[in-house]
Amino acid sequence: MAGGGNFASYEHAIKQTWSSRDPKELEIYKTLDAQDIYKVCTAFSKRYKDEGVVYICGGDGSFSEAASALAHTQTALGFIPAGSCNDFARTLYDDYQNDPSKLHQLVKHLILKSPQAELKTLDLFSFRINREDAPKQYALNVISFGLDSHVLKDSYDYMKAHPSAPAKKAYNRAVINNVFKQSATEARIELYGAHGSKVIEGTLSLAAFCNGGFYGNGYNPSPMADPSDKSFEFCAGQKLSLLDFGLLAPKYKRGTHLENNKIYFETQLESARIRCPEKENALANYDGTLFSFNSLYIDLEKAVLKWAALA
């Protein structure tokens, strides 16, 4: 169990669900931070191998951190969404995508299903920052740079200064602030996949590499995303004027933006190489974790995460 919420009711439901089984089959651990999640999942995997399943009851960031720990292992990972945005849950669970207001009902349903998971696999991004020989990192949902990352940074800064502020308020405030700043990123992007290679070069307001379909509290850059289809999608917007943004933002939220002539969209991709002008760094994020880069090397690693599917 991870995150900053009150999980008392969920913990009670988990214990009730598993009460008829051998008590040794269930361990509940309340994590302290992201690094704690990685350590706990790694230790659990080494101990139980393919006989164990880790369920994360928390947000997208917690699930992503656990996925990094369990990639290429024999241990399955399940997701019970209980975070602020739960964007990856919209891709995994159609019921939540159709009606996010029913999160509590979904969580209770997933908890009840947890002893009978169906084991499947998910793809993961691996990426390296600035050097091809840099340490490999993993991302589960979306890697993006540009306007959306600036929005994310401002929303984090606001929530740090106002701890009691709802995440949605912080995010909406950051969107408004950054729209008027008109920030954009100059980049050269090389895309490789089933249809060959393609180069996109120019000034972009945002660019998103999508294994999952949703990010940023419900925005839908890739409506057909499937994190188990062994490919990813790329969505980018040319430098947008204030009017362009006003017209596109609602469509980007609904996933109906793909026909706009200011949008680049590519499917069935397997890798990407991104470079910004020398000595210029772009602000980016993966699954809500911010970083900066001058060059970025992204590859899709196919079916490398065992997934305990519950829906």
Domain annotation for the chain: domains and CATH numbers: 8-116 (3.40.50.10330), 125-302 (2.60.200.40)
* Band (5; pLDDT cuts 50, 70, 90): low
Q: Single out the residue of 282, 262, 271 nearest to residue 145, CA to CA.
A: 282
Q: Do residues 105 and 81 make contact, with C-beta atoms less than 8 angstroms apart?
A: no
pLDDT of residue 76: 97
Q: Cα(163)–Cα(158) distance, rounded to whole angstroms?
A: 8
Amino acid at 122: L
For 197, residues 6+ apart whose C-beta sits below 8 A from its C-beta are 190, 191
Let me know how many helices (H) and strands (E) the chain has, helices first. 9, 12
Percent of the chain with pLDDT strictly greater than 90: 69
Residue 125 has pLDDT above 90, yes or no: yes
Q: Single out the residue of 39, 234, 214, 28 nearest to residue 111, CA to CA.
A: 28
Mean pLDDT over 226-236 rounds to: 97
* Band (214; pLDDT cuts 50, 70, 90): very high
| pTM assigned to the model | 0.93
pLDDT of residue 8: 79
Q: Which three-class secondary structure state does DSSP give residue 302?
A: strand
For 300, residues 6+ apart whose C-beta sits below 8 A from its C-beta are 123, 124, 125, 126, 211, 230, 231, 232, 269, 270, 271
Q: Do residues 91 and 213 make contact, with C-beta atoms less than 8 angstroms apart?
A: yes
